[in-house]
A = this chain, B = another copy of it.
Amino acid sequence: MSADPGPVRWNADGLVPAVAQDADTGEVLMLAWMNREALEATLREGRAVYWSRSRGRLWRKGEASGHVQEVVEVRLDCDGDAVLLRVRQRGGIACHTGRRSCFYRAWDGTGWREVLPVLRDPDEIYGGGGE
């Protein structure tokens, strides 16, 4: 299958933001970044592959944690500069903090309050290393 992402508009760093959403529950799990290679790999492999800006390399989500995101559908927005992945989140944990979603803080009127529990200790997920 061809995986030329065509009309995607990459930013000055060659990246687009990619939002991962649980395909079953609709919960927004995380926002990460993709370069062309990451998007092509995602389309080809059917699992979420991002570009890690901190590590400067492709990041196959779940490569260390096992928390792979199986891709159900990939969407592109009207301007071609944002991607939406509808995924099945293996392990039910997207966040490196051990929470279901990275968006675990909610504004309560005066500050950010944690609203999602830690489901698994990150040390246990990563064995002391990161993803």
Contacts and interface: CB of A to CB of B under 8 A. Distances in A.
B6 A73 contact: no
A17 B77 CA distance: 14
Contact of A75 (B43, B96, B103, B110): B103
15 contacts: A2-B109, A5-B107, A6-B111, A17-B17, A17-B82, A21-B28, A26-B26, A30-B77, A30-B82, A73-B106, A73-B107, A74-B106, A75-B106, A77-B102, A82-B102
Contact of A31 (B19, B102, B106, B115): B19
Q: How many copies does the complex hold?
A: 2
A14 interface: no
Contacts of A107: 5, 43, 73-76
Contacts of A95: 78
Contacts of A59: none
Interface residues of A, number: 39
Interface of A: 1-2, 5-7, 17, 19, 21, 25-28, 30-31, 43, 73-79, 82, 84, 95-97, 99, 102-107, 109-112, 115
A25 to B, nearest CB: 7
A73 B107 CA distance: 7
